Chain A
Amino acid sequence: MELLSFGDTGWGDELFFATLMTIAVSIAAMAIGFLFALIFTPLKLSKKKSLNIIGNCYTTIIRGVPELLVIYLLFFGGTGAAMYVASIFGYDGYIEINAFITGALAIGVISGAYSTEVFRGAILSIDKGQFEASKVLGIKKGIQFYKIILPQMLRLAIPNLSNVWQIALKDTSLISVTGLVEIMRQSYIAAGSTRDPLFFYSVAAILYLILTFLSMKLINKLEIKYSKGY
């Protein structure tokens, strides 16, 4: 227990901040994922074949390739790509992309593919009559989406989005390979310097369990809120 105390002698405070970092990366990744889903869901639902193929390529490739590969590609390739782009604009210095940004972007790209599938499924399961009725009433397309489709879609999407969130939360452990100090990296450091890996990795496992448990509780509340009236 002394190992977990706060302050200079223990690893409590370090692990606490690492947990906050894990939460922060997960939330950032989830938000980036939503942005990707916002772009790719319409493409996947589009009637145009070419747009459809782009959407399908994104979800198929990302879901068929290991998460670690996406992270490595962005981590090692991102710096090179950023320097190349900068050199076009005449900047030749070394650019290092922040590990947080790389990590959030990598997990975001991955969770975006899953979110896209979830949103696509949710929109497809909305009754066609809803679209037709709002069209007949002369409601504009934008308002139709925000006021009629989105609320119904969210209700259907929340249970599956909770799965996506859990996957993103667990995937953040992989960012530790890039050196970002989140739960996994911090336990690795602590385990290395105290020579007690069993204890620190058990602590890491418990921290993840707490996070998944708490987010489950929170999402259940959201689910109840959005299924009011059903």
Chain B
Amino acid sequence: MISIFPSLLSGAIITLKLLIVSMFFGLIIGLFFAILRINKNPIINKFAYGYSYFFRGTPLLVQLYLIYYGLANIEFLRNSFFWVIIKEPYWCAIIAFSLNTGAYTSEILRSAFQTIKKGYIEAAQSLGVTKKITFYRIQLPIAIKQSLPAYGNEIILMLKGTSLASVITIMDLMGEARKVNVLTFKPFEAFITAGIIYLFITFIIHKAIKLLEKKYIYQ
């Protein structure tokens, strides 16, 4: 069990890299689409809804395959500069995970925006605060604080999602565990050790979010 630990740890670092990078892009995408969702224009609104419906209604594996195998099929993408990015499984995984978590994040933020009391916005308006400042200084901070618990869950779901990267040849924690299983024919050792490492990461994320919640959440 100890001999397989180093290779699993090197996989865990890749898992964490995948998680952090895709959570970063996912947050930007999610915020962008959440703002589109609360827009009153029906076309913009429907577009953002369609995006989140597609990514929440299909399995992550389908999205990953569509990007990894599917995009390479488009002639003009293959000849363009994007080919540098989409020929790498690592970046394909990042794109798929970011778009997926972006859809869930947009839903979390949207519901947070919609539960903000109207009084706050009205108070800001009556004080003559411009719309832009109301959004950045009042709506956004409240929405972020309110969505913290749900976002913590999303991070853990995404951590579990990154294990799919192993299917497209990335040697993350799951990929390393598979390799150990194939080399040693000891499935229990390989997968249970990997499971313990996953649980440990989940535990750390859980605790960190709990700390943030304590610090920031409003009652």
Interface residues of A (CB under 8 A from B): 60-61, 63-69, 72-73, 76-77, 80, 170-174, 176-177, 184, 187-188, 191, 195-198, 201-202, 204-205, 208-209, 212-213
Which 3 A-B pairs have CB atoms at the shortest separation, nearest pair first?
Answer: A66-B163, A76-B187, A197-B69
CB distance from A31 to the nearest CB of B (A): 20
Residue on A with the closest CB to B194? A69
CB distance from A208 to the nearest CB of B (A): 5
Interface residues of B (CB under 8 A from A): 53-54, 57-63, 65-66, 69-74, 156, 159-164, 166-167, 174, 177-178, 181, 187-188, 191-192, 194-195, 198-199, 202-203
Number of A-B residue pairs at CB separation under 8 A: 115
Between A and B, 29 residue pairs with Cβ closer than 8 Å are: A65-B199, A65-B202, A66-B174, A68-B164, A69-B174, A69-B195, A72-B177, A72-B181, A72-B191, A73-B187, A73-B191, A170-B60, A172-B59, A173-B59, A173-B61, A174-B59, A197-B65, A197-B66, A197-B69, A198-B66, A198-B69, A198-B71, A201-B66, A202-B70, A204-B62, A205-B63, A208-B57, A208-B62, A213-B57
Residue on A with the closest CB to B156? A64
Known: A77-B191, A198-B66, A205-B62; 14 extra A-B contacts, CB below 8 A, are: A64-B198, A66-B160, A66-B163, A68-B164, A69-B191, A72-B181, A76-B181, A173-B59, A184-B62, A197-B66, A197-B69, A197-B72, A204-B65, A205-B63
Residues of A within 8 A of B191 (CB): 69, 72-73, 76-77
- Known contacts A64-B156, A205-B62; is-contact A197 B70 (Cβ 8 Å): yes
**Residues A208 and B59 in contact, CB atoms below 8 Å apart:** yes
